[in-house]
A = this chain, B = another copy of it.
Amino acid sequence: MTQTISINNSQKLLIEPLSMPSRLLLGPGPSNAHPAVLQAINTPPVGHLDPAFFAVMDEIQSLLRYVWQTENSLTIAMSGTGTSAMEATIANVTEPGDVVLVGVIGYFGNRLVDMAGRYGADVRTITKSWGQVFSLDELRTALETHRPAILALVHAETSTGARQPLEGVGELCREFGCLLLVDTVTSLGGVPIFLDEWGVDLAYSCSQKGLSCPPGASPFTMSSRAWEKLQKRRTKVANFYLDMTLLSKYWGSDRIYHHTAPINMYYALREALRLLAEEGIENSWQRHQQNVEYLWQQLEDLGLTLHVEKEYRLPTLTTVRIPDGIDGKAIARQLLLEYGIEIGGGLGDLAGKVWRIGLMGFNSRKENVDRLVAALRQVLPK
Nearest CB in chain B to that of A116: its residue: B240
**Whole-angstrom distance between the Cβ of A29 and the nearest chain B Cβ:** 6
Nearest CB in chain B to that of A270: its residue: B18
**Cα distance A20–B59 in the bound complex, in angstroms:** 13
Inter-chain contacts of A160 with B (CB < 8 A):
none
Count of chain copies: 2
Given contacts A83-B260, A240-B83, A281-B7, contact A45 B69 (CB under 8 A): no
Given contacts A216-B265, A240-B83, A259-B83, contact A20 B43 (CB under 8 A): yes
Nearest CB in chain B to that of A82: its residue: B260
Inter-chain contacts of A347 with B (CB < 8 A):
257
Inter-chain contacts of A126 with B (CB < 8 A):
none
**A33 in the interface, Cβ–Cβ < 8 Å?**
yes
Interface string of A257-296 (1 = CB under 8 A from B): 1111111110110110010011001100110010000000
Interface string of A1-36 (1 = CB under 8 A from B): 101010111111111011011110101011011001
Inter-chain contacts of A62 with B (CB < 8 A):
11-13
- Contact across chains for B87 and A241 when beta carbons are under 8 A apart: yes
Interface residues on A, range: 35 or more
Inter-chain contacts of A265 with B (CB < 8 A):
214, 216, 262, 265
**Cα distance A65–B117 in the bound complex, in angstroms:** 34
Q: List 15 A-B contacts (CB under 8 A).
A: A8-B196, A11-B62, A12-B277, A14-B277, A17-B40, A20-B52, A20-B56, A79-B84, A81-B259, A81-B261, A83-B259, A83-B260, A87-B241, A117-B236, A264-B268
**Residues of A near any B CB (own CB < 8 A):** 1, 3, 5, 7-15, 17-18, 20-23, 25, 27, 29-30, 32-33, 36, 38-48, 50, 52, 56, 59, 62-63, 65-66, 69, 71, 79-84, 87, 111, 114-115, 117-119, 192, 194, 196-197, 206, 208, 214-216, 236-241, 257-265, 267-268, 270-271, 274, 277-278, 281-282, 285-286, 289, 315, 336, 342, 347
